[in-house]
Amino acid sequence: MENILEIRNLKKTFGDFTLDNISFSLPKGFITGFIGPNGSGKTTTIKLIMNLLKKDSGEIRIFGLDPVRQAKEIKNRIGFVYDESHFYEELTVEEMKRIIAPVYDQWDEQQFQSYAAKFDLPGNKKTKDLSRGMKVKFSLAIALSHHADLLIMDEPTAGLDPVVRSEILDILYVLMQDENKGVFFSTHITSDLDRIADYVVMIYNGKILFCTQKDALMENHAIIKGKASLLDTVRSSDLKGIRKSNYGFEAMSTAKETTEAFAKAGAVIDPPTLEDIMLYYTRKESSRV
């Protein structure tokens, strides 16, 4: 299984934030979710991948190539959808497309038109008059109209209503029919990834917490709720984000054995969502007794 993207010991410091020697890989043919609370370094990582920021040290390989030396070849094969669309306000959708299309070697006008029709993109509207959902769809249409092999999305669904979010996910499901393509989906709205993601990478405070298959992640984690006394009697080393209150404790188990032990001891076990995982890994432990 080839890796579309490889990051090794990537480091970047600016101001008081440091991306601290992060490493992870993105396999071809799958969707990898990149999750973490705001300010964890998701956008910084993506900017480093796109060469918008310069790394302090470490290695980035995209399609096995060097993003600094072979930037043009790589960027021809990358489609991107960012949080902000960065279009020129006064230009219309059609005008924007006309100045962007010539940049890509493999621009496929037919493909763009079919997405434009599917999304109902208004060719004559100025980009400043587009709703946020429309802007994202426009960005997506462009990203998917030049035979890109890697789709990088940075918070594409933030601020969108559920209908539009679902439309975007549908596009991704169709895209994944091609086993040569990969998607890197960075978001803090993890519900979008719960079903579609094949792999999940979590970043927090500039560090990678884990990089695993989503199914394995979900199977190994569980939300445990039980009597506070259980914390003393059952092995609790694999628990994260423990919160105690007058009604008991709740925590996330990160190992199957721990979950089973607590289940046997009578605790309530719930399956986690990615959001739960993100929450329990990042919130501080506390007791409100």
Partner 1 sequence: MFNLIWKDILIQKKTLAYMGLYIILFGITFQNITADPFPAIAVAVTYQMIAAACSHEDKSGADILWNSMPVSREKLVLSKYLSMFVYTLLASLGYMAFAAVIHLTRLPIKASPITATGMMGSIVAIALMNSLYLPVYFRLGFMKARVASFFLFFALFFGVTFGVNVLSEEIHSAQGNTALRAIASALQSASDLQISLLLLGLAFVFLLASFCLSVKFYRNREF
Partner 2 sequence: MDILISNSGAQPIYEQITDQIKDQIMKGELTESEPLPSIRSLARDLHISVITTKRAYDELEKDGFLVTVAGKGSYVAAQNKQLLRENRIKIVEEKLTEAVLAAKSADLSFAELEEMLRFFYEEG
Residues at the interface with partner 2 (CB under 8 A): 29-31, 169, 173-174, 176-177, 179, 195-199, 213-215, 219, 270-271
268 sits near partner 1 (criterion: CB under 8 A): no
Chosen from partner 2, partner 1, none, partner binding at 105 (C-beta under 5 to 8 Å by type): partner 1
CA dihedral (137, 145, 34, 258) in degrees, to 10, reads 100
Q: Is 16 in the site for partner 1 (CB under 8 A)?
A: no
Residue 230: how many CB atoms within 10 A of its CB?
Answer: 18
Compare residues 82 and 199 and give the one whose CB is closer to partner 2: 199
Q: Confirm or reject binding of residue 102 to partner 1 (CB under 8 A).
A: yes
Of residues 38 through 97, those in contact with partner 1 by CB under 8 A are 47, 50-54, 71-76, 78, 80, 82, 84, 86-91, 95
Taking CB within 5 to 8 Å according to partner kind, which of partner 1, partner 2, none is near residue 198?
partner 2
Please identify, using beta-carbon distances, which residue of 109 and 170 lies nearer to partner 2. Answer: 170
* Residue 67 Cβ vs partner 1, minimum distance, rounded to whole Å: 11
List the single partner that 52 binds among partner 1, partner 2, none, CB under 5 to 8 Å by kind. partner 1
Among partner 2, partner 1, none, partner that 173 touches (CB below 5 to 8 angstroms by kind): partner 2
Shorter beta-carbon distance to partner 1: residue 68 or 216: 68
Smallest separation (angstroms) from partner 1 to the CB of 73: 8
Q: Which two tokens stand for residue 226?
A: 């039980």
Kindly tell me which of 98 and 195 has the beta carbon lying closer to partner 1: 98
Shortest distance in whole angstroms from residue 61 CB to partner 1: 18
- Based on the shown chain and the rule CB under 8 A, indicate whether residue 103 belongs to the binding site for partner 1: yes
Q: Choose among partner 2, partner 1, none what residue 68 binds, the Cβ cut-off being 5 to 8 Å by kind.
A: none
Q: How far apart are CA 4 and CA 75, in angstroms?
A: 13
Give the footprint of partner 1 on this chain (CB under 8 A).
47, 50-54, 71-76, 78, 80, 82, 84, 86-91, 95, 98-105
